[in-house]
Amino acid sequence: MTTSPDSVKHRARVVPADSAGIAEAARVLAGGGLVAFPTETVYGLGADATDARAVARLYAAKERPTFNPLIAHLASADAAKEIGRLNATASRLAEKFWPGPLTLVVPALPRCPVCELARAGLDTVALRVPAHPVANPLLRAVGKPVVAPSANRSGHVSPTTAVHVLTDLRDRIDLVLDGGPTPLGLESTILDCTREQPRMLRPGTIPRGDIEEFLGMAIADSMPVGGEAPAAPGQLASHYATRAKLRLDADSVRPDEALLAFGPSLPQGAERTAYVLNLSPNGDLVEAAANLFAHLRALDATDVHAIAVAPIPTTGLGEAIRDRLLRAAAPRP
């Protein structure tokens, strides 16, 4: 590593959350940048949910060791209905609790623009419409869904002030929109609304009892999401899995396999297979993360019975990529 001016780390700028600041934040987000902004729960680290590269950079900034699906934030219930299918129960919940700290997981519509990486390859999408007086106009100005997991490094405490954000992410993000301390400090309640009876995925700010009372219906039992080990076999279904068998760390390819390559040099036998996709021809892990789920899906849509996956480095985003490949390769119940 040299110490040329180019390698000097850039520092996030902090702007007040007035109308000029919000307009600037919207421009940075639309241009693929990373912007921390206040919501009613905690500060979120925002990225354009439709831009897989921006989402990959977000994961790199947070140093998350795994690609959990992220929540798509929208300015209104109408905007949310453009990307996910709300059943009768979900529609009632949206009408009652949006805008507000409630996240609904629903089937993604075919035209859903939220990228595969943000959805971790799933056919569902998590939707939230924040009420916060900075977050909401920001989302309106961006005009696209924005993912915004908490603006901290993985394993650190969720930030409720701009200073917390800077402590963790100062040299990894583009902008912090300072709107003062966040009012709630606790994360949104997440409900799986893929069936008429909702299921609790994460307890949060809106109490379970309030939701049950409003619906006149019990919420099904909670199961940990994104935890290390699945709590029940059914939980495995919340991970993307391929139909074709995945063969990881392959140093050669068989003629009846597809190849998911990484980097400039291809494994032995690559020229004999009909299907090759490269996660990143120059070996860039951010690009590889951005392509991961879309490439897996494309190769899985061919008629091959197995996909050989070239070795992926264990550094940086490589850890999260390898984690998801392992999960995708795990036997299904």
Least distance (Å) between residue 113 CB and ligand AMP: 15
Binding of Mg ion by 182 (CB under 5 A)? no
Could you tell me how many helices (H) and strands (E) the chain has, helices first?
A: 9, 14
Among 124, 150, 160, 189, the residue binding Mg ion under the rule CB under 5 A is: 150
One residue of 122, 129, 206, 286 binding ligand AMP per CB under 6 A: 122
Least distance (Å) from Mg ion to the CB of residue 279? 26
Taking CB atoms within 8 Å and a gap of at least 24, the contacts of 275-282 are: 275/299, 275/302, 275/304, 279/312, 279/321
Binding partner at 226 among ligand AMP, Mg ion, none, C-beta below 5 to 8 Å by kind: ligand AMP
Place of tokens 């569902």: 124
Give the position of tokens 């929109």: 177
**Which residue's entry shows tokens 């396999």?**
257
CB closer to ligand AMP, 70 vs 309: 70
Asked if residue 202 binds ligand AMP (CB under 6 A), the reply is yes
- Say whether residue 39 binds ligand AMP (CB under 6 A): no
Beta strands in the chain (DSSP E): 13-16, 35-38, 43-48, 71-73, 102-107, 124-128, 146-147, 175-178, 189-192, 199-202, 245-247, 257-261, 276-278, 306-309
For ligand AMP, give the closer residue by CB, 124 or 278: 124
Piece of the chain touching ligand AMP by CB under 6 A; list 2-10, 68-76, 255-263, 304-312:
68-76
Smallest gap from Cβ 272 to ligand AMP, in A, equals 37
Cite the beta strand spans of 188-247 per DSSP E: 189-192, 199-202, 245-247
Task: With H, G, I as helix, E, B as strand and everything else as coil, classify residue 294.
Answer: helix
For residue 305, list its beta bridge partners: none
Of Mg ion, ligand AMP, none, which one does residue 134 interact with (CB within 5 to 8 Å by kind)? none
Which CB atom, from 68 or from 235, has the smaller least distance to Mg ion? 68
Q: Report d(CA 265, CA 281) in Å as an integer.
A: 8
Residue 198 interacts with ligand AMP (CB under 6 A): yes or no: no
- Beta carbon of residue 194, minimum distance to ligand AMP (angstroms, whole number): 8
Residues contributing to the site for ligand AMP (CB under 6 A): 68-71, 105, 119, 122, 124-126, 149-150, 187, 190, 201-202, 225-226, 238
Residues contributing to the site for Mg ion (CB under 5 A): 150
